[in-house]
Amino acid sequence: MTVRAAAKVNLVLGVGRVRADGMHPLDTVYQAVSLYDDVRASPSEQWEVAVRSVGDVDCSGVPLDEGNLAVRAGQLLAAHHGLDRAARLDIDKGIPVAGGLAGGSADAAAALVALDRLWQLRTSDEDLLDLAARLGSDVPFALLGGTAHGAGRGELVTPVADTGDHWWVVVPHDVGLSTPAVYGELDRLHPDAPAVPRSSEAVLAALLVGDHAALGAALHNDLEDPAVSLRPELGERLALVRSHHDGPVLLSGSGPTVLGLSPTHEHATATRGALLEAGVPVVHVVTGPVAGAHVVELAG
């Protein structure tokens, strides 16, 4: 049973003051884009994980034990049904690791769907979303895919109208960034941030009517400054992408991946060519919105 799950980008990521539980309130718009991890689930007596790199993804930081969110997803699903089961998970990683593209969340969502099918559990969508939210803030969106509004700590997702066909230039970085560290730096830089995050209204309005220029003007990420503060060379990377991309550029999630929005495939490919020529080693061109975690191959 193989399930595919997509990377996500945040078109807008508004972050409010840290809550009493240590998490931050978000007002965000997620979009699933065409960079994928595939998770194959097969029967096993104990939990096993193997990770294989697709293209140039460096998988050396991916845990191969219960620290892997996909294994935790499987354990949570089994516990939800009162089962004592394990499985083997083979993960083909096309999504850069620790890049702000929610690759680990994609694996967890894919594992939930794959194991639900493998074990023939028929878990309701509502229960799967609930289990996903317990695994991580971005996991419910990885199940849903498409374009969605995110609230709460990001786990409360609602699909939104998106008439567009969006192209993204995705520039990964070879050293990942820790999400908690970036949120911590935001708290340090802005101890008096408002409790209610900035609204994603302008992005939602632009998506509804398919206004590419208005969408570009509304893109924003509150985690960009703290990520650059932690990693000053990221500021140089953002400037380099801006100098070669005729369009909006922003940090993806908690970084360090940098994104450029393009109106067409040709436009994105031109930026990619210019960045490769400028010495950037890896640049992807992807499209969105694409589907959430879905079965691509049945077992047997």
Give the footprint of ligand C5P on this chain (CB under 6 A): 23-24, 26, 136-138, 153-154, 179-180, 183
Nearest of 246, 241, 240, 282 to residue 259 by alpha carbon:
241
Tokens read off for 260: 């450029």
> Cβ 120 to ligand C5P, closest distance in Å?
29
Active site residue 58: no
For β-strands 249-251 and 258-262, DSSP reports them as antiparallel
Toward ligand C5P, which CB reaches closer, 108 or 241? 108
Amino acid at 41: A
Active site residue 8: yes
List the beta bridge partners of residue 38: 4, 92
> Cβ 196 to ligand C5P, closest distance in Å?
14
> Cβ 24 to ligand C5P, closest distance in Å?
4
Toward ligand C5P, which CB reaches closer, 93 or 117? 93
Residue of 37, 38, 116, 138 marked active site: 138
> Cβ 25 to ligand C5P, closest distance in Å?
7
CA distance 102 to 1: 22
Q: 3-class SS at 35? A: strand
- CB of 207 within 8 A of CB of 29? yes
- CB of 81 within 8 A of CB of 121? yes
List the beta bridge partners of residue 170: 259, 284
**Left (φ > 0), alpha (ψ -120 to 50) or beta: where does 264 sit?**
beta
Toward ligand C5P, which CB reaches closer, 26 or 193? 26
Toward ligand C5P, which CB reaches closer, 74 or 136? 136
Residues in the chain: 300
Toward ligand C5P, which CB reaches closer, 154 or 247? 154
- CB of 296 within 8 A of CB of 3? yes
Active site amino acids: 8, 138
